Amino acid sequence: MTSKPVPVVVLAGFLGSGKTTLLNHLLRASRGTRIGVVVNDFGAIEIDAMTVAGQLGDSTVSLGNGCLCCAVDASELDVFLDRLTRPDARLDVIVIEASGLAEPQELVRMVLASENERVMYGGLVEVVDAAEFDATLERHPEIARHLGIADLVVLNKADRVDDAAGQRLRERIRGLGGGALVTATYGRIDPELLFECRPRGERVGQLSFEDLREEEDGDGHQDGDGHPHGQAHDGHLHAAYESVSFTADEPLHPRRLLDFLDSRPEGLYRIKGFVDFGALDPRNRYAVHAVGRFLRFHPEPWPAGGRRQTGIVLIGSGIDTAALRKELDALPVTGPQDAPDEHTMWGVLRFVPDVPEGS
Whether residue 210 has pLDDT greater than 50? no
Distance from the Cα of residue 254 to its chain's centroid: 24
pTM score of the predicted model: 0.66
pLDDT confidence of 266, banded at 50, 70, 90? confident
Average of per-residue pLDDT across 215-226: 38
Strand order in the sheet with 268-275: 242-248, 310-316, 268-275, 284-291, 294-301
The pLDDT value recorded for residue 254 is 96
The pLDDT value recorded for residue 3 is 66
CB contact at 8 A, 214 and 231: yes
Distance CA 98, CA 150 (A): 13
Whether residue 327 has pLDDT greater than 60? yes
Q: Look at residues 22, 268, 290, 46 and name the one whose alpha carbon lies nearest to residue 155.
A: 22
The pLDDT value recorded for residue 277 is 97
The residue with greater pLDDT, 205 or 83, is 83
Average of per-residue pLDDT across 295-309: 89
Whether residue 264 has pLDDT greater than 50? yes
The pLDDT value recorded for residue 117 is 85
User: What pLDDT digit, counting tens, does each position of 92-129 carry?
Assistant: 888 888 776 667 888 888 888 888 888 888 889 999 99
The pLDDT value recorded for residue 343 is 92
The pLDDT value recorded for residue 154 is 92
Distance CA 283, CA 303 (A): 10
CB contact at 8 A, 192 and 239: no
Q: How many residues does the chain have?
A: 359
The pLDDT value recorded for residue 130 is 92
Distance CA 332, CA 352 (A): 21
CB contact at 8 A, 38 and 70: yes
Average of per-residue pLDDT across 35-43: 66
Identify any residues that bridge with 153 across adjacent strands, giving them in sequence order: 126, 181
Q: Look at residues 176, 128, 122, 185 and name the one whose alpha carbon lies nearest to residue 149.
A: 176
Distance CA 102, CA 75 (A): 13
The residue with greater pLDDT, 317 or 73, is 317
β-pairing, 93-97 vs 6-12, is parallel
Share of the chain above pLDDT 90, in %: 23
The residue with greater pLDDT, 234 or 68, is 68
Whether residue 136 has pLDDT greater than 90? no
Highest mean pLDDT of the ranges 72-81, 193-202, 288-297: 288-297
Whether residue 218 has pLDDT greater than 50? no
Count CB-CB contacts under 10 A for residue 34: 21
Count CB-CB contacts under 10 A for residue 303: 10
Distance CA 99, CA 27 (A): 19
The pLDDT value recorded for residue 358 is 35
How many angstroms separate the Cα of 236 from the Cα of each of 69, 221, 230? 27, 19, 11
The pLDDT value recorded for residue 240 is 56
Whether residue 21 has pLDDT greater than 60? yes
Strand order in the sheet with 152-156: 60-62, 68-71, 35-39, 93-97, 6-12, 119-129, 152-156, 180-183
Across the chain, how many H-helices and E-strands are there? Answer: 12, 13
Torsion of CA 103, 105, 107, 112, to 10 degrees: -170
